[in-house]
Amino acid sequence: MEPLSIGVCSWSIDRKDPIASIRAAATECGARVVHLGFFDEETLAAAHAEEIREVCADCKVEISATFAAFSGEVYKSIETVAQTGGYMPDELFEQRLDFTRRVAELSVALAVPELTIHVGTVPDDGQSGAFVKLSERCRQAATLCQERGLTLSLETGRESAEVLLQFIDGLECENVAVNFDPGNLVIYGTDDPVKAVTMLRGRISHAHLKDADPSDQPGITFGTEVTLGSGQANIARVVSKLRSGGYQGPLIVERTSGRGDPGTLNDSIDYLSSLLG
């Protein structure tokens, strides 16, 4: 994969059909890189490595990373996300860790070197029981990825860059990195994207490009996703900071609203291309 290759998230096209998403990314968006996500048991069970490899070869598409999302996360509010997200719920941890393992095994079969997740909302207090619990659970996920030669990348947004950095350093796992998403930082009201991308310099292995406007109660209610380049995530400066910081990974367009709209994705791809010159 070429440095700073522009791609799309499969779930921005169709979260239930990875094969259709790969084809649409290539034929409708002209993308040659896809971040391949799995959101439920049914979709993962139906995913066959040989079929995915064949469609990627046919469409001349590379997979930048896989994404393990977790059924049962409730996006009703920022509070419910914190309660139900990632590895935090006790009753769902073993199930979600096993789902992570199976996405990791598919990643190996696809020769994809990186798996991304939302680990959960990292508490601000690094001494709290919740912080310690989430650290131990993430360490287990990192270990199973390391055993398979994979990088585990934690997506930004549900906590500040400072808290995420403290969390990652405390894991002491060499294969844990950051999937940087500036839009999430605005949507959750947790940090300034330009400040965050600077703080996380050298830790970022993968990047989502999503834009948003903040809510009138940042950190309490969700901000609003908007067209790439039109919001408060300061995408142009984020991309500039990524480049000046030596980032060589992909730039992956994510749209969590307006799924199935290739025109929106194409506009975002065109915008990113204009920033790269």
Q: Is residue 30 part of a domain?
A: yes
Q: What is the dihedral of CA 174, 3, 99, 19, to 10 degrees?
A: -170
Any domain includes 56: yes
Examine residue 98 and state whether it is found in any structural domain, yes or no.
yes
Distance of CA 259 to the CA centre of its chain: 16
pLDDT-derived band at 141, boundaries 50, 70, 90: very high
**Helix 235-244 to helix 262-276 angle, to the nearest 10 degrees?**
50
pLDDT at 124: 96
Q: Is residue 72 part of a domain?
A: yes
| Cβ–Cβ under 8 Å, residues 205 and 179 | yes
Residue 174 has pLDDT above 80, yes or no: yes
pLDDT confidence tier of residue 23, bands split at 50, 70 and 90: very high
- The pTM for the full model equals 0.96
**CA distances from residue 270 to 47, 64, 148, 264 in whole angstroms, order as listed:** 30, 19, 36, 10
Question: How far apart (Å, rounded) are the C-alpha atoms in residues 38 and 100?
Answer: 10
Is residue 211 a part of any domain in this protein?
yes
pLDDT at 260 over 60: no
Structural domain count, the chain = 1
The CATH number of whichever domain residue 148 belongs to comes to 3.20.20.150
Q: Indicate the pairing of strand 204-209 with strand 251-253.
A: parallel
pLDDT at 229 over 60: yes
Mean pLDDT on 152-177: 98
Quick one: what percent of the chain has pLDDT higher than 70?
A: 97
Q: State the average pLDDT over residues 82-97.
A: 98
Measured at the alpha carbon of residue 130, what is the angle toward residues 136 and 69, in degrees to the nearest 5?
A: 65
Residue 231: inside a domain: yes
Torsion, Cα of 187, 190, 196, 199 (10° steps): -160
User: Which structural domain range is residue 80 located in?
Assistant: 6-276
Q: Would 259 be classed as within a structural domain?
A: yes
Q: Is residue 1 domain-resident?
A: no
CA distance 141 to 160: 21
